[in-house]
């Protein structure tokens, strides 16, 4: 039996660009699929097709058991969409925004009001409920947008880069909301540029590039394919590279790469934080001064390099931007 | 945070027929747009500045030197002018509708609306209805200013009211042109200028500000068949504002201006509503 979100051979072209080039998806009911990829990979196009905003050129998509192309109105009753840009009316208050959405789902005015009150309470917006949304912070707007997507408690949710542009605290809060939602039985498709986010929230991950799924599996499976952790050390002086290299050789599980220009050594390891502590002690014992040391996990770029042979950077059309930011975010939890 | 109600919870839904749903959805969207107008009053105010400026400029700067009908008289021109300014004002609502829709596209609100199970044309109908309310308010203020500078009507209340209804119908039809422009250009700035540029030749190559009888033959034909001229002529007839010695042209729309005005407005409304709703359904933000 197909899952709550099912797609087969989805193709969508814009002029010469094949935004979707035969995408297959199958998300079992009550699970979370993370759609991971750089800008321009086709994530948003996939969401737009699945949420009836865009007609595919070919292929089939079924959401909540309903055919997306044949029965878009029925699909719209069963889904919630929270977009990349917080789509709330900034000149309406939080309460007015939610009531409007409720009424457009054909709730009676009274039910829409009651539902709005409850969502405002749950998303910690009750105090700001009668202020226009333009006075809200980025995180509050995002919560309001998410609340709008949940007005009818849809069984299937789509979230297109829900945390892009949020600060770490707001991101964390939104993750908690998403986890609660999934605990309640909602099926969720989430797109993200952040490996860490997919790791944290998704049961399964699809990596998408140039409109095609290039890898799928659990986060552990993907990491295993990508190569595991590695230790990166920056020594203080050039003449300390050699002693550092011999220390790393005893812990490493592969080739050591050295950049003498930046005095940086990198080696694949297994053993996590405890191993890192041993490496530091050992380097210290040999008198190697360390400018920087860290345990790096696979980043989005690592996933891309290992899966496609090219960096995520080159996979994008838009120049450096969010993916760059994504990599930095992932590297924040280095130690 | 506590769990956000499980999906098993049924959504209370009022079941309505297609037409009733379309009306309710349109009104919900219209209410939203009216709330926006109240909260961004400067947009309404700026919408008034231009027509008031035209009333004053044309009345006092050109008023004494433009020949209408058989006379050059400031009072005759003043009365002649107002129907033209009113009609130009209602068509300028096009730019507002266009900018509003383009802004909604830009901000992702159109995506949100399109992902909801609402009536197809309701987002655009709601917007154009809100613009209609704004246009009506603008006309009230403008008519007040016109009375202050000396405009007078010489027909009964029913006829004057009919004249204003024709103006509103024309404005409503034109706001659908704006809606279509907004959906196509996607940025509010482009929609504002794209909604206005073509209105200048349209409103000036017409009988709005001058007596078309005095134009060269080629322009006069365009002016007489200009959809805009039909409403202006109809209003002049209904307000009793035709200047002394005015010779009604032979062109059919000028001979039957009320019917022509309604016909033109309905045709524009049907054509552009159809195109706009179709574009909305396939809009890709």
**pLDDT tens-digit series, residues A97-121:** 999 999 999 999 999 999 999 999 9
B34 three-state secondary structure: helix
Provide the pLDDT for residue B232.
97
A134-177 residue pLDDT tens: 999 888 998 899 999 999 889 999 999 888 888 888 888 888 88
Q: What span, in angstroms and rounded, lies between the C-alpha atoms of A104 and A116?
A: 13
Provide the pLDDT for residue A297.
74
Q: Where are the domains of chain A?
A: 5-223+309-334, 229-296
Would the pLDDT of A320 be above 60? no
Which residue stretches of chain A are H helix? 43-50, 72-78, 94-104, 109-122, 138-149, 168-183, 195-201, 219-226, 241-251, 272-285, 300-308, 312-315, 322-332
ipTM of the complex: 0.86
Find which of B1, B6, B7 to mutate to test the A interface (most A CBs within 10 Å of its CB): B7
Using pLDDT thresholds of 50, 70 and 90, give the confidence band for residue B65.
Answer: confident
Query: Would an 8 Å CB–CB cutoff place B65 in contact with chain A?
Result: no
Considering chain A, what percentage of its residues have pLDDT values greater than 90?
Answer: 39
Which chain A residue has its CA at the smallest distance from B11's CA?
A: A152
Pick from A146, A154, A167, A41: nearest CA to A84 = A146
Nearest CA-CA distance, residue A177 and chain B, Å: 7
Pick from A60, A66, A57, A132: nearest CA to A97 = A132
Query: Would an 8 Å CB–CB cutoff place B18 in contact with chain A?
Result: no
- Mean pLDDT computed over A40-69: 92
Residue numbers in B near A107 (CB within 8 A): 11-14
Residue numbers in B near A84 (CB within 8 A): 108
Q: What span, in angstroms and rounded, lies between the C-alpha atoms of A286 and A279?
A: 11
Nearest CA-CA distance, residue A190 and chain B, Å: 16
B20-54 residue pLDDT tens: 999 999 999 999 999 999 999 888 888 888 889 98
Residue numbers in B near A119 (CB within 8 A): 4
B264-274 residue pLDDT tens: 999 999 999 99
CB contact residues (below 8 A), chain B span 44-63, against chain A: none
- Mean pLDDT computed over A81-106: 90
The DSSP string of B78-108 is: HHHHHHHHHHHHHHTHHHHHHHHHHHHHHTT
Structure tokens at A72: 């878009």
Pick from A184, A128, A129, A175: nearest CA to A156 = A184
The CATH number of domain A5-223+309-334 is 3.40.50.300: yes
Structure tokens at A90: 């900034």
- Mean pLDDT computed over A232-261: 87
Which chain B residue has its CA at the smallest distance from A174's CA?
A: B1
Find which of B9, B117, B118, B279 to mutate to test the A interface (most A CBs within 10 Å of its CB): B117
The CATH code of the domain at A229-296 is: 3.30.70.100
Using pLDDT thresholds of 50, 70 and 90, give the confidence band for residue B69.
Answer: confident
Instruction: Check B115 against A52: CB less than 8 A apart.
Output: yes
Q: Cβ distance B89 to B139 under 8 Å?
A: yes
Using pLDDT thresholds of 50, 70 and 90, give the confidence band for residue A13.
Answer: very high
pTM assigned to the model: 0.81
Nearest CA-CA distance, residue B173 and chain A, Å: 25
A234-245 residue pLDDT tens: 999 888 899 999
Nearest CA-CA distance, residue A163 and chain B, Å: 16
Q: How many CB atoms lie within 10 A of CB A154?
A: 22
Beta bridge partners of A215: A207
Q: Across the interface, which of A103, A180, A181 has its CB nearest the CB of B28? A: A103
Instruction: Check B4 against A101: CB less than 8 A apart.
Output: no
CB contact residues (below 8 A), chain B span 98-117, against chain A: 107-109, 111-117
Which position has the token pair 């948003």?
A44
Structure tokens at A12: 């969508």
Provide the pLDDT for residue A331.
35
Instruction: Check B40 against A91: CB less than 8 A apart.
Output: yes
Residue A313 sits at φ, ψ, to 5 deg, of -55, -45
Mode of pairing for the β-strands spanning A230-235 and A264-268: antiparallel
Q: Cβ distance B139 to B107 under 8 Å?
A: no
Provide the pLDDT for residue B17.
84
Laid out side by side, the sheet with A290-296 consists of A257-259, A264-268, A230-235, A290-296
């Amino acid at each position: 039996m197909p899952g709550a979100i099912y797609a087969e051979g989805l193709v969508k072209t814009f002029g010469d660009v094949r935004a979707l080039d035969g995408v297959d998806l199958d998300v079992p009911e009550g699970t979370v699929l993370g759609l991971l990829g750089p800008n321009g990979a086709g994530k948003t196009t996939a969401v737009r097709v699945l949420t009836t905003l865009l007609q595919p050129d070919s292929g089939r998509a079924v959401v909540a058991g309903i055919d997306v192309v044949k029965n878009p109105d029925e699909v719209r009753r069963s889904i919630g969409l929270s977009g990349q840009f917080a789509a709330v009316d900034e000149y309406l208050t939080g309460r007015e925004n939610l009531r409007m959405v409720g009424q457009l789902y054909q709730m009676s005015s009274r039910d829409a009001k009651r539902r709005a009150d409850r969502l405002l309470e749950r998303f910690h917006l009750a105090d700001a409920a009668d202020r226009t949304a333009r006075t809200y912070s980025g995180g509050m707007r995002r919560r309001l947008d998410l609340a709008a997507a949940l007005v009818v408690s849809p069984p299937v949710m789509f979230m297109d880069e829900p945390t892009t542009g949020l600060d770490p605290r707001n991101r964390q809060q939104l993750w908690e909301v998403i986890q609660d939602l999934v605990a309640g039985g909602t099926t969720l498709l989430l797109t993200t540029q952040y490996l860490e986010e997919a790791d944290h929230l998704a049961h399964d991950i699809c990596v998408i590039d140039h409109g095609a799924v290039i890898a799928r599996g659990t986060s552990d499976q993907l990491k295993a394919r990508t190569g595991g952790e590695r230790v990166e050390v920056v020594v203080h002086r050039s003449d300390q590279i050699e002693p550092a290299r011999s220390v790393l050789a005893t812990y490493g599980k592969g080739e050591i790469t050295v950049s003498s220009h930046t005095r940086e050594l990198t080696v694949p390891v297994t053993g996590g934080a405890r191993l890192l502590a041993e490496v530091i002690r050992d380097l210290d014992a040999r008198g190697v001064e360390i400018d920087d040391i860290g345990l790096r996990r696979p980043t989005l770029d690592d996933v891309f390099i290992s899966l496609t042979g090219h960096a995520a950077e080159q996979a994008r059309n838009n120049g450096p931007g969010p993916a760059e930011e994504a990599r930095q975010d992932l590297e924040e939890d280095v130690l | 945070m506590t769990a956000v109600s499980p999906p098993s919870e049924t959504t209370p839904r009022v079941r309505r027929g297609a037409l009733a749903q379309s009306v309710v959805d349109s009104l919900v969207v219209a209410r939203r747009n009216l709330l926006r107008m109240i909260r961004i009053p400067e947009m309404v105010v700026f919408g008034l500045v231009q027509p008031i400026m035209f009333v004053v400029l044309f009345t006092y700067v050109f008023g004494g030197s433009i020949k209408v009908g058989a006379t050059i008289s400031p009072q005759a021109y003043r009365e002649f002018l107002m129907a033209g300014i009113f009609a130009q004002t209602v068509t300028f609502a096009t730019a507002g509708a266009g900018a509003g829709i383009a802004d909604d596209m830009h901000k992702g609100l159109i995506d949100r609306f399109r992902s909801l199970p609402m009536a197809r044309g309701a987002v655009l109908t709601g917007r154009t209805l809100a613009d209609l309310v704004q246009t009506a308010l603008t006309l009230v203020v403008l008519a007040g200013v016109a009375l202050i500078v000396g405009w007078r009507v010489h027909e009964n209340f029913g006829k004057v009211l009919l004249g204003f209804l024709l103006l509103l119908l024309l404005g409503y039809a034109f706001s659908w042109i704006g809606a279509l422009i907004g959906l196509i250009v996607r940025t509010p700035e482009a929609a504002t200028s794209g909604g206005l540029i073509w209105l200048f030749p349209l409103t000036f190559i017409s009988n709005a500000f001058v007596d078309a009888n005095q134009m060269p033959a080629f322009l006069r034909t365009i002016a007489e068949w200009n959809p805009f001229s039909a409403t202006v002529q109809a209003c002049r007839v209904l307000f009793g504002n035709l200047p002394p010695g005015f010779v009604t042209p032979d062109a059919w729309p000028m001979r039957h201006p009320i019917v022509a005005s309604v016909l033109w407005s309905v045709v524009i409304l049907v054509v552009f509503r159809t195109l706009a709703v179709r574009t909305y359904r396939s809009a890709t933000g």
